[in-house]
Amino acid sequence: MLTCSKDRVQNKIETFAKFGDAGHGGITRFCFSPEDLQAREEFVKRMKAVGVETVTDDMGNMYATLPGTEEGLPRIVMASHTDSVRNGGNYDGILGVITAMEVVETIATEKIPHKHPITAMVWTNEEGSLYPPAMMSSGVVCGKFDKAKMLASKSSEGKTFGEALKQSGYVGDEANRLNPKDYMAMLELHIEQGPVLEAEKKEIGVVEGVVGMVNYRIRTYGQSDHAGTTPMPYRRDALLAAASALKYLHAELDKLDSNLVYTTGEILCHPCIHTVIPDLVDFSIDARHKDPEVIKQVVEVIKNMPKEFDKCEVKYEEAWARNTIDFDKELVDLVQKSADAYGYSSKRMYSGAGHDAQYVADMMPTTMFFVPSKDGHSHCEPEFTSVEECWKGINVVLQTVLEIDKK
Ligand SMILES: [Zn+2]
C-alpha cells in the first residue's frame, strides 16, 4: 500500500504550530491575522516547492492544483481551514490543510500516475472567531450566505471582514471558486473533536454526514425588586424560573433517544446586579441528532413546556436550525474501502460539529474523514492527535483520492 511520509507530516504539524503559538501548547490564529498570513504563506511556499502554483478566489480561498495526465477532467479537491478559535489547538482545521498538502506532495514527488488534477485547498474564515459567522467562505461559495453581508461582518474592534480580506492581499478571481463543474469530489480530513474514536480504539472515522440541530432561546419574565426589602413570597424571580425551566427541559429531553446531545451555553440575566431580583433571563438551548424525528421531539418538548415557572411567564423562540447532511454514499464507501485496505480499524459516524464540507455537500459529492482526538478535547490548547494517527488518516485520504481518480 502507498503511504505518505510520517516525517514530513510531523514536520508540517510542528511548522504550522509556530504560527500563532500562544506559548502553552496551542495557537490563536484568527482569520487574516499576521499569524494566519504566515500559515497561508507557508502553504503557498510548500506547494510551490513541489511545483504547484496557488491561486485564490474572491473570498481569499486558496487552491493549489497539481495537473493530471488527461486534459479537461474535473479536479479532486481536499480542503480545510488555517484559522482557529482563541487559544485553540494545533489540529482543528490545519490538519486537513496539512493532509491536502501532504497528499499532493506525495503524488507529485513520487510521480504517482493520476488522470485528474488534484487540488489542495484552504477555506477562509471557517471559525468566524473575529468575523462571524462560522464557515463564512464555504457559505458564500456554496450559495448559503450573501457575500455583501459577509464582507460587512465586523470584528469587536470594528474592522470589517471585507477590509481584512482586501488588506490580506489574497483577493482573487471569483471564477476560481470551487464549483461542481470543474470539481468532481471534495474531501475533508478533520480531528473528531470528541471522545468516541479513542474510547472505542478506532483509527479512522468514516463520516457519513453532519447531524442536524435546532437552537432555541428560552426567556423567563419576572419582576425586578429590591433584594433586601422584598420578602420571598412576594417575588417573581426570572432567574429562579429559568433554573426551573432548565431542570424541566433536561428531565424531559433525557427521556428521548440516548444519542441526543443538548446544551445551554449562553445565559443572559437582566439587570445582573447583586442587589436586584432579575426580571428577565434569556438562555440558549442547542440540540443535535442525526434523525430529524428526534429533533422534532425536542421541539415538541420545548413547545409543551409549562408556560409559567415560579410565577414567571416563559416564552420560547427558534433562533436557527439546520437539517442533517448526508455525505455522498459512494465516496463514504470509498473511504471505508481505503481504510480497510490498510487494515486500519474504523467506525462509521456522524459529525456533531459543523464543517465547511457540509455546505459543499449540497453542491457536489463530498465526504469527511476523522482521526481520534485525545480525551476528546478540541477548541482548546490540549487538543492532540499523535503523528502516527494523523499519518494513518492521511494515508486513507491518499488512497481515496487515487480510487476516485480511477472513475
Ligand atoms: Zn475545523
- Strand 212-221 versus strand 312-322 pairing type: antiparallel
Distance 304 CA to ligand 1 centre (A): 35
The length of the chain in residues reads: 407
Distance 212 CA to ligand 1 centre (A): 17
Distance 351 CA to ligand 1 centre (A): 11
Distance 127 CA to ligand 1 centre (A): 7
Report phi then psi at 377, rounded to 5. -75, 140
Cα separation, 242 vs 248, whole angstroms: 10
The pLDDT of residue 22 is: 87
Between the CA atoms of 104, 108, 113 and 118, what dihedral angle is there, to the nearest 10 degrees?
30
Q: What is the pLDDT along the chain (407 residues), one digit of tens a residue?
A: 999 999 999 999 999 999 999 898 999 999 999 999 999 999 999 999 999 999 999 999 999 999 999 999 999 999 999 999 999 999 999 999 999 999 999 999 999 999 999 999 999 999 999 999 999 999 999 999 999 999 999 999 999 999 999 999 999 999 999 999 999 999 999 999 999 999 999 999 999 999 999 999 999 999 999 999 999 999 999 999 999 999 999 999 999 999 999 999 999 999 999 999 999 999 999 999 999 999 999 999 999 999 999 999 999 999 989 999 999 999 999 999 999 999 999 999 999 999 999 999 999 999 999 999 999 999 999 999 999 999 999 999 999 999 999 98
Distances (CA, A) of 248 to 18, 36, 252: 46, 44, 6
CB-count exposure of residue 358 (10 Å: 0-12, 13-18, 19+): buried
Q: What residue ranges of the chain are covered by domains with CATH 3.30.70.360?
A: 212-322
Give the cell for residue 228. 433586601
> The pTM is what?
0.92
Distance 74 CA to ligand 1 centre (A): 26
Distance 372 CA to ligand 1 centre (A): 14
Distances (CA, A) of 363 to 28, 137, 318: 31, 14, 27
Strand segments (E) across 194-311: 204-210, 212-221, 261-263, 267-270, 280-289, 308-309
Q: What residue ranges of the chain are covered by domains with CATH 3.40.630.10?
A: 6-211+324-405
Spatial contact of 83 and 129, defined as CB atoms under 8 Å apart:
yes
Cis omega (within 30 of 0) on the bond before 34? no
- Which distant-in-sequence residues (6+ apart) come within 8 Å of 18 by Cβ? 38
Distance 69 CA to ligand 1 centre (A): 32
Distance 65 CA to ligand 1 centre (A): 22
The pLDDT of residue 363 is: 97
Cα separation, 343 vs 203, whole angstroms: 10
The pLDDT of residue 362 is: 96
Distance 345 CA to ligand 1 centre (A): 23
Between the CA atoms of 169, 363, 405 and 395, what dihedral angle is there, to the nearest 10 degrees?
70
Distance 68 CA to ligand 1 centre (A): 29
Distance 135 CA to ligand 1 centre (A): 9
Distance 329 CA to ligand 1 centre (A): 22
Residue indicated by cell numbers 411567564: 313
The pLDDT of residue 161 is: 98
The pLDDT of residue 407 is: 87
Overall fold of domain 212-322: Alpha-Beta Plaits (3.30.70)
Cα separation, 376 vs 90, whole angstroms: 14
Spatial contact of 78 and 103, defined as CB atoms under 8 Å apart:
yes
Alpha helices in 136-225 (DSSP H): 136-141, 147-151, 161-168, 196-199
Distance 105 CA to ligand 1 centre (A): 22
- Strand 261-263 versus strand 366-371 pairing type: unpaired
The pLDDT of residue 270 is: 98
CATH 3.40.50.720 assigned to 6-211+324-405:
no
Distance 377 CA to ligand 1 centre (A): 13
Distance 354 CA to ligand 1 centre (A): 8
